[in-house]
Amino acid sequence: MIGALLAAQILVAAPHTTIAYESVPPEVVRVQMFEWHTSRPGLPSGSDRTPGRVTVRGTPHRVYVVTFARADGSYLLDGPFSWPAGDGVRGIPQRWHRTLRGPVPDVAAVETSVEWIRADALPGPWPMCFRDDSRSWSCWGILPESRGVVLLPAGDGILWTTITSTAPAALRHAAWGRLLIVTDSAASPGLRIRFGRPVAPPAGRVAGIRLETASVAGARAVPLAPGSQWVVGDDVPAEAWVEIASQSGGPVYLALQDVADGAALVPLQITLSERRVIDGRVLGANGEAASGTLVTAFRLIEPPPVAGSPGLPRRVLAAESVADPEGRFRIDGLGEADYEAVAWHSQLGRASVALPPGGSEVVIHLRASGLARGRVLAGGRPVEGVDVISVPDAAAFTAASDITVVKGGDGRTGPDGRFIVMVVESGGGELRIGGGKYPVKRVPLPRPPVPVFDAGDVELGESIALTAAFDRDPGCDVRAAGPVGRTGLQVVLGARTAEGAYAFTLPESGLWEFSLACVGERRSLSPAAVPIGPAQAGKELRFVVR
């Protein structure tokens, strides 16, 4: 039994019988016989030895262990076994074992047992771990291929270390730990265990069903043997999970709370199903192939709603794919979970479909609520390659539970300067045209939307060039960020033209914040923010370096 003490005592009582071991290896320098006790340790018994033969004496029906040790401390191990009623002969064991020891921190109570959690499928009771005294532990009967975890309960958590082919590290404290033993239908290698948790929407967002994810701080997986890893950690964030996958199996998602709440001594057996692959095709409203559609798979982290229930279950990103010229796409690496696919095309619209649990093919039909089109000019001439970004209405974005439904299409002007993008069903927001090396022009979108909104010719106009002058040379990079309070914030780096003077070309009017980027120190400017408009073009703005 795990936690039993191997105690030895001199055999002084009679009657006794003998066992002879033949063909004892010549490198054996010490033979000891220990009686299996659960109370206190004793002393090893003696033995009679001639070349190649060892005879030991014991009391019938008691349980013993016999060791044959080399000078390096390794030993052959026979037992535990019940001592026979008559004299006999036993075969010498063939496999060399070792004993590993380590200190016990003060946080572990003296009476705390030491447990061995095996990570392999080797038969037999060994290794066996126990407390030597209040300050140390040891594990007997460790083979070179033995893999496992040494575990001590410790107040509000556990003390643990792993045993592999090297000497064990010092015991470490954790709030929880569990051995995962994973089997794969295809017996594929590459077991991968990850920890994740949902991240709530920013404070400015009222609600959200599509959540960002983050790793779980302090959680880790320690490989022990093929298909076996020890997972351990301290924090268990709300709705966190463990993702388990292999090269061809899974993933499987387990609630981290369930893993952490389980008994640390009981390994968790997991069988991975074959990895799911979804092949699909995206079509426009008229049946045309929707080439270039972004198809995103989201995993639901809450149960699907029953019919008529309010609200939608929250979900996290699982995988993405882009449709080829025929509208075909493939999503690989899905497991046994509830998934949704969201298809989004800048002109043809969007669609959302649930991926069937057992299905492998899906057809998605896009739908657009309306289109916005126009032509972009600079100095009266069409401009190619200008970005056209659909920016949602700020209030609609804040209130939306699903931000994909308030995001319109994005595009880029063609050789004739023309663009066409979809608009969202709720309407409103604006087109942000330009950016980068081009000035920015914003075009409001109607609410409610119209089937086709024609922005006509959009003249980008001119960027605003100005000079920032300082009362003393700051010796740092100077940046301007803006427009403050509007979507599409840009950062523009100033170009040094003279001592204490930097040239800026800002793409649009608005409130711009100027700051210093200094190495190793924090410095500020006064004023920090300046309203910029056409009236400031060609002018000099003066700042005081703080």
User: pLDDT of 5-56, one tens digit each?
Assistant: 333 333 334 478 999 998 899 999 888 888 876 433 333 455 566 778 899 8
430 and 488 co-located in one domain: no
Question: Taking residues 77-106, what's their average pLDDT?
Answer: 90
Percent share of the chain, pLDDT over 70 = 91
Give how many domains the chain has, as a whole number: 4
Q: Which amino acid is present at 84?
A: P
User: Which residue, of 75, 94, 113, is where some domain finishes?
Assistant: 94
Does residue 143 belong to any structural domain of this protein? no
> Can you tell me whether residue 452 is helix, strand or coil?
strand
468 and 529 co-located in one domain: yes
Q: Check residues 271 and 49 and name the one with the higher pLDDT.
A: 271
Does residue 186 belong to any structural domain of this protein? no
With contact defined as beta carbons under 8 Å apart, do 161 and 150 qualify?
Answer: yes
pLDDT by residue (tens digit) across 440-450?
Answer: 999 999 988 89
Does residue 280 belong to any structural domain of this protein? yes
Does residue 137 belong to any structural domain of this protein? no
Q: Check residues 199 and 186 and name the one with the higher pLDDT.
A: 199
User: Which residue, of 71, 94, 117, is where some domain finishes?
Assistant: 94
Q: Report residue 204's pLDDT band, with 50, 70 and 90 as the boundaries.
A: low
Residue 238: name the closest of 267, 211, 265 by CA.
211
Question: Taking residues 170-189, what's their average pLDDT?
Answer: 85
Does residue 240 belong to any structural domain of this protein? no
For residue 475, pLDDT over 60 is answered with: yes
419 and 469 co-located in one domain: no
Residue 41: which CATH number?
2.60.40
Mean pLDDT is lowest, of 43-47, 90-94, 190-194, 360-364, for 43-47
388 and 445 co-located in one domain: yes
Element (H, E) at 397: helix 394-399
With contact defined as beta carbons under 8 Å apart, do 424 and 407 qualify?
Answer: yes
Q: Dihedral (C-alpha) 286, 288, 294, 300: value to the nearest 10 degrees?
A: 60
Residue 478: name the closest of 462, 460, 496 by CA.
496
For residue 454, pLDDT over 70 is answered with: yes
pTM above 0.75, yes or no: yes
With contact defined as beta carbons under 8 Å apart, do 443 and 433 qualify?
Answer: yes
With contact defined as beta carbons under 8 Å apart, do 96 and 68 qualify?
Answer: no
Does residue 342 belong to any structural domain of this protein? yes
355 and 375 co-located in one domain: no
Residue 447: which CATH number?
2.60.40.10
* Phi, psi angles (nearest 5°) of residue 360: -130, -5
23 and 86 co-located in one domain: yes
**Which domain range does residue 345 map to?**
276-365
375 and 452 co-located in one domain: yes
User: Which residue, of 434, 459, 484, is where some domain finishes?
Assistant: 459
- Per-residue confidence (pLDDT) for residue 308, from 0 to 100: 66
- Per-residue confidence (pLDDT) for residue 312, from 0 to 100: 82
Measured at the CA of 37, the angle between CA 33 and CA 43, to 5 degrees, comes to 45
For residue 527, pLDDT over 90 is answered with: yes
442 and 478 co-located in one domain: no
Q: Report residue 96's pLDDT band, with 50, 70 and 90 as the boundaries.
A: very high
pLDDT by residue (tens digit) across 391-420?
Answer: 988 888 888 888 888 889 999 999 999 999
Does residue 433 belong to any structural domain of this protein? yes
Q: How far apart are CA 238 and CA 259, in angstroms?
A: 13
Does residue 15 belong to any structural domain of this protein? yes
429 and 444 co-located in one domain: yes
Question: Taking residues 156-180, what's their average pLDDT?
Answer: 88
Burial of 39 (0-12, 13-18, 19+ CB in 10 A): exposed
Percent share of the chain, pLDDT over 90 = 57
CB atoms within 10 A of CB 513: 17
Q: How far apart are CA 529 and CA 543, in angstroms?
A: 10
282 and 359 co-located in one domain: yes
Q: How far apart are CA 331 and CA 340, in angstroms?
A: 12
Contacts of 332 (CB under 8 A, 6+ apart): 275, 277, 278, 319
* Phi, psi angles (nearest 5°) of residue 419: -140, 160
With contact defined as beta carbons under 8 Å apart, do 182 and 227 qualify?
Answer: yes
Residue 479: name the closest of 509, 508, 518 by CA.
518
Residue 128: name the closest of 174, 39, 65, 71 by CA.
65
* Phi, psi angles (nearest 5°) of residue 261: -80, -15
395 and 428 co-located in one domain: yes
Question: Taking residues 114-136, what's their average pLDDT?
Answer: 82
Q: How far apart are CA 436 and CA 419, in angstroms?
A: 18
493 and 419 co-located in one domain: no
Residue 102: name the closest of 29, 174, 162, 19 by CA.
162
